[in-house]
Amino acid sequence: LLFDDLGRPTPALRPCVGVRARTAGFLWLGEVQVATHLREQALEVEFVSMVLRCLAGPMKRVTLVICPKAPGSKWDQLGFEAVSIAGNKLFLWEPCKARRRQNSADANAAAQATATKA
């Protein structure tokens, strides 16, 4: 469905991810469970964000995270993208796209703060 016998992305997956995501390691998140007290303290997103940053850091090779189940609604801010491949809905996360989204969000927040002060 996603990778051929040689481990390369199939034609169905290729258009859904960037070139960098197709050249290194990927992580399959079959299930993520966060302790109740972390969810209640709104630390779930921060925890998952830190795990993703550690796995995709400068010395790591994870360039794509695939999740077959819908991550929590709060995970949208992490940059997971819903895609449909061969009739299956998957959620993808790429570090380079997530960084671009975060930089854009930071720039928008800074512009709004400046506009509010003016």
pLDDT at 59: 64
25-73 pLDDT, tens per residue? 777 878 777 788 777 766 777 877 888 888 777 766 777 888 887 766 6
Check residue 78 and give its pLDDT: 80
Write the pLDDT tens digit of every residue in 73-87: 677 778 888 888 888
Sign of dihedral through CA atoms 25, 6, 80, 105?
Answer: positive
Residue 105, pLDDT above cutoff 80: no
Between CA 21 and CA 95 the distance in angstroms is 8
Record the pTM.
0.65
Spatial distance between the Cα atoms of 58 and 23, rounded to a whole number of angstroms: 15
